Structure 1
């Protein structure tokens, strides 16, 4: 069966306020001296050669992570009367205990996209300098257990209290200027200044929603806000209920805001074989001009029909495909939340910062090394942490590779990277989070954690260790 992942993600994002994750350069490259873009993980890292990226192909990274998996929401359907072989958790063939037993109190899904438009690195001014122009997109969503309990249990329970239903999407263009400088043969420091142009930002929070059964309908009261910043954007409202937001449109596109940030890094060599390193990334902000604000009417209850238009069993008619079931759920979730236009405001948001601590031990004449990396990504309520152990090999001057195992907020992962860098060019490809098990329908059986990163760059100048 063909599954359109976009529909699944739209469902999980609850109808549009899409999700933050993850470093947009592979952590697997952290201990590979020949990796062109590892200065994005620590600005104190110096390149082996001068380089210039191939436009749009220098560093491309797409990834997602979560503490739940697609198989927590999609199940095999064995009913001979159905023409579909998969169904969702809403089907009566999936018990409440089976579905809810797999969920967390807070179920997080994160997606990221990073694209280096153009980048260059060169030695000069007593150190290694970098110039980068790129696009970053980070989206995170937090779906509470009680939301799914309401969807699955329905009228078998009369009152639900849903908290911390949130989604955030941050999208911007970044111009970064970096410099790494050797203080002595043991200590290297680095910094990177960033100038940011905001493309779009959406921040949605439902702090509290109380849902109570009254007759055959649900009465809901919610306390939440939605803030949207897109250049030239405006809220569309319902004619029959003035002020209630029904959608979003753009009149004249343009920058939505401006900001700045900084990366800081340091490395310190102990003896000939041991290297300590640390970095803080994306300390900064974006000021969103003319951001649109919407809010619930906290003391005004409204009625909601519930999740009752999703055909998942033969007695309800022909069961919808998985695509259609998720689309219907998305529509019902939109009806479950009501925001009202409160006009324009100026709003400032901080960047999601990352802290790295690394340690590396080199042996076999620096042909191999063992590395340990601790990473914390700070972006409440989507903060996550990761610990990684890495085996790195350098069998030739022009080739290095890494194999690693990590454990994070989202579970265990296997990662790898291959970096080919002879004189004249570099090519790298790798993943921090590999999908290792899938169902016969090619659905990942574990938490939906995966990413892929690759790039092609031109190098010049002499090689430096």
Structure 2
């Protein structure tokens, strides 16, 4: 049990500290001089041709979550301690949690990007490194870890516990064009080269702790896809088996990767449109990343479907000459219970090296932009973004004020409310002839640690990029 607690504690704290996201800034959705608007809606055309500086065209680093590192770490005698320390009360720790504690990492690192006006519209070519990772940790998971048994009978229900990660390289070709004075449309075709995929979820996980019996029921499944990935069972590793049920348990100590490489292939599309209802009002919508990846080498595993029960210690040896080495001693029985529970909650390999197709998480953006009639260089905007991915779905609404006082500079400030809380954002965008430089944030940093890790909220974001532009402004 202690080993399980330690693993879960490390996973929670590390996830809240290290989640990194990089993508096109939502704060730039309504700024026409921002070169990467087409990543938010493929109907948007750049004002000039551009080519990115490799690795410098679009850098965006941040975190996203409804919990922060301060949820799990507490000051104690000028040092930090975890929530499991006896000096931290259960009420103090649990009051900072949500029903579902969520951490997301969405990386879109632009390796190379170019855009140019030709063939009756605006065309883009992108090579991106994508990594989308989501964690969902229910409240009762941490209540069980911290509180244990609190009465004659205690129940914990931990469904929706899971983690999912999708990692691939994306080659995207986009085209947008003007249909008439009111309507613009655009689309992208994406070829996806799979790197690694992981999906772990508990469809059911219940713990009942009573005076006469403890019972745990856990039904979960795991899919891991990576070229060269080897996840041997305990039997294949030659490990000693205490009972036949351990034969197909995954031996986590001997997992290895031999010559990683292309693990799958897939395709996706982006679709978008803008429509000018009147001179001062424009509506827009886009569906992004609608597609799939077919993975070649997938290892499937599942937990046991039968309940684990403990109805008390049997024949405890008190004055045995063997001491703690006696199989019936209290320590020996506690160790055996811990091993049984760890084996029960671990994954049994069911299939090895099979093919599996997984859908990407799609994103829906809907925007409305209003030009202030008394000063047409000032625009107000509203952007609704929804990520569609089952239990890992999220939504955000962002209102913004954007101004372009001169042709080569525009800026915006905005406020967002999302599934991860509220935040302020801003963007400064310089786009004279010859280059485009931008710097901004979707989420202003609040209180942070000396390592710039957000304490109270998991939301933090800093973005900048430099691109070479050429040709006349369109």
TM-score by length of 2: 0.83
Change over 3 Å in CA distance of 1:399–1:442 after alignment to 2: closer
Matched with 1:63 is 62
2:358 is the counterpart of 1:358: no
Q: Number of matched residues?
A: 422
1:267 match: 274
CA distance in 1: counterparts of 2:155 and 2:307, whole angstroms = 17
- Checking the alignment, whether the CA contact within 8 Å between 1:366 and 1:394 is kept in structure 2 is no
Whether 1:174 and 2:170 are equivalent positions in the alignment is yes
- Identify if the C-alpha distance between structure 1 residues 14 and 221 changes in structure 2 by more than 3 Å, giving closer, same or farther: farther
Per-residue Cα deviation, 1:97-119 (whole angstroms, up to 9, x for no partner):
22212212111111122111111
Runs of 4+ in 1 over 6 A off after TM superposition: 214-218, 333-336, 439-442
Partner of 1:315: none
Aligned 8 A contact 2:28 2:427 in 1: yes
Name the SS of the counterpart of 1:130 in structure 2: strand
The residue number in structure 2 matching 1:192 is 188
Whole-Å separation in 2 of the counterparts to 1:284 and 1:199: 16
Which has the larger displacement, 122-131 or 354-363? 354-363
Mean alpha-carbon deviation: is it higher for 431-440 or for 383-392? 431-440
Match of 2:199 among 203, 207, 212: 203
Cα offsets for 1:368-409 (capped at 9, x unmatched): 111111111111101111111101111221111111000001
Change (3 A) 1:77 1:270: same
- The range that moved more, 64-73 or 193-202, is 64-73
Given that 2:194 and 2:264 are in contact with CA atoms closer than 8 Å, whether structure 1 keeps it comes out as: yes
Residue 75 of structure 1: aligned partner:
74
In 1, the alpha carbon distance for the partners of 2:306 and 2:34 equals: 56
Deviates more, 1:157-166 or 1:246-255: 157-166
| Distance in 2 between residues matched to 1:294 and 1:50, nearest whole Å | 49
Structure 1 pair 188/442, CA: closer, same or farther in 2 (3 Å)? closer
d(CA) in 2 for partners of 1:433, 1:371: 17
**Alignment counterpart, residue 148 of structure 1, candidates 119, 134, 142:** 142
Structure 1 unaligned regions, length at least 5: 1-6, 79-83, 304-332
Contact 2:64 2:104 in 1 (8 A): yes
| 1:97 is the counterpart of 2:91 | yes
* 1:204 Cα offset (Å): 0.1
After superposition, the Cα gap between the structure-2 partners of 1:55 and 1:302, relative to the gap in structure 1 and judged at 3 Å, is farther
1:276 matched to 2:283: yes
SS at match of 2:173: strand
Q: Provide Cα deviations, 1:233-263, integer angstroms capped at 9, x if missing partner.
A: 1113332343211333211211111111111
Q: Which runs of 5+ in 2 are unaligned?
A: 1-6, 241-245, 311-340
Larger radius of gyration: 2
* Alignment TM-score, normalising by the size of structure 1: 0.84
**Preserved contact between residue 215 and residue 307 of structure 2 (Cα < 8 Å):** no
The residue that corresponds to 1:135 in the other structure is 129
Q: Deviations for 1:127-159, whole angstroms, at most 9, x for unmatched residues?
A: 000011111111100001111011010233554
* Secondary structure, counterpart of 1:12 in structure 2: helix
Query: CA RMSD of the aligned region, Å?
Result: 2.7
